[in-house]
């Protein structure tokens, strides 16, 4: 373990299960402090996790729903009040939903959770990131975005049709990687690097939870996909590996990949920034 890593602090959203949980375990094993922004609890039988909580290495901030702005604001205010800095922000929370559903703000829930909320978290925690040593933001994206054949923000916010995995989920991940690209030059003025990373295929199916995956994909995932440690490793490498000095890029298998509909990147950024300024900042919850 690098002795300097003992002073590093990572924020991980969606850190209590799947890839986020494995990333938490990996960073803790290397002596990092982890600040977790979670909706669900950590496994109570995970001794190392519970020890990390007791020792203050793992600090947990709860929100009832990341896509509920009132709940999200309370959690972020608590983080800003109690934490001194952030070295890496992993915007990892998310998932695929089995049917068309909407957030409390009235937007399609994949778009709200996977595209808009990561931007809000970045903006709210930006000053802590500026105070950090590594000044890095990693947005968890997906190679599913390459299957998007049509891209329109209005349709993204309120789609007329729904398709598992390759519908709102894929287009929302595309929108995430697009605004990641668009905001890079702005963040670079504060020496903040930002990248979106595909964690690859991981078996993240949870018992008792409805999957937003097509039946065939779900079967293949159970049989052939890697455990979530694989995705955690991809995010870790995306943050600290070969491309740690790059910004605005989309990484797939450790390589910079092209993003479709790049001409829409600034439009996406402008739209979600408007949501942030006019809904998250100005509303009284």
Alpha helices (H) in 17-159, listed in sequence order: 18-29, 47-55, 69-82, 109-110, 117-130, 153-157
Contacts for 251 with CB less than 8 Å, ≥ 6 apart: 195, 196, 197, 198, 234, 238, 243, 257
Q: Could you give the number of structural domains in the chain?
A: 1
Contacts for 273 with CB less than 8 Å, ≥ 6 apart: 119
Q: What is the CATH number of the domain that holds 257?
A: 3.40.50.720
Q: Judge whether 185 lies within some domain.
A: yes
Q: Judge whether 216 lies within some domain.
A: yes
Confidence of residue 2 (pLDDT cuts 50, 70, 90): very low
- Distances in Å between the alpha carbon of 221 and those of 110, 170, 186? 21, 17, 38
Q: Judge whether 285 lies within some domain.
A: no
Residue 1 is predicted with a pLDDT of 43
Q: Judge whether 14 lies within some domain.
A: yes
On the question of pLDDT at 275 being above 80, the answer is yes
The pTM (predicted TM-score) of the whole model is 0.92
Helix/strand/coil percent split, the chain, to 5: 45, 15, 40
CA atoms within 13 A on the CB side of 208: 0
Residue 134 token pair? 């590594």
Domain of 131 in residue numbering reads as 3-280
Q: What is the pLDDT of residues 192-234, one digit of tens each?
A: 999 999 998 765 655 656 666 666 656 665 655 677 899 999 9
Q: What is the mean pLDDT of residues 30-45?
A: 94
Residue 222 is predicted with a pLDDT of 64
The answer to whether residues 18 and 206 touch, using CB atoms and an 8 Å cutoff, is: yes
Residue 209 token pair? 């939870």
Contacts for 163 with CB less than 8 Å, ≥ 6 apart: none
The answer to whether residues 8 and 32 touch, using CB atoms and an 8 Å cutoff, is: yes
Residue 227 is predicted with a pLDDT of 77
């Amino acid at each position: 373990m690098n002795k300097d890593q003992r002073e590093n602090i990572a924020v991980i959203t969606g850190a209590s299960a799947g890839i986020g949980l494995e990333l938490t375990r990996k960073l803790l094993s290397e002596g990092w402090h982890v600040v977790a922004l979670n909706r669900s609890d950590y496994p109570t039988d995970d001794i190392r996790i519970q020890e990390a909580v007791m020792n203050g290495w793992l600090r947990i901030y709860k929100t009832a729903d990341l896509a509920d702005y009132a709940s999200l604001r309370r959690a972020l205010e608590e983080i800003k009040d109690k934490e001194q800095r952030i070295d890496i922000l992993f915007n990892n929370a998310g998932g695929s939903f089995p049917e068309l559903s909407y957030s409390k703000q009235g937007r399609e829930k994949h778009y709200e959770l996977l595209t808009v909320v990561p931007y809000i978290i970045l903006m709210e925690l930006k000053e802590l990131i500026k105070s950090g040593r590594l000044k890095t933001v990693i947005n968890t994206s997906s190679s599913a975005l390459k299957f998007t054949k049509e891209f329109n923000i209005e349709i993204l916010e309120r789609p007329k049709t729904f398709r598992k995995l390759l519908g709102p989920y894929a287009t929302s991940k595309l929108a995430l990687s697009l605004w990641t690209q668009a905001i890079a030059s702005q963040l670079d003025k504060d020496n903040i690097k930002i990248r979106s990373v595909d964690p690859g295929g991981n078996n993240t199916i949870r018992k008792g939870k409805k999957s937003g995956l097509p039946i065939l994909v779900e079967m293949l995932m159970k049989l052939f996909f890697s455990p979530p440690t694989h995705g955690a490793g991809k995010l870790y490498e995306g943050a600290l590996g070969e491309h740690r000095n790059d910004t605005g890029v989309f990484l797939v298998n450790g390589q910079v990949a092209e993003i479709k509909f790049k001409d829409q990147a600034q439009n996406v950024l402008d739209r979600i920034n408007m949501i942030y300024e006019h809904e998250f900042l100005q509303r009284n919850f």
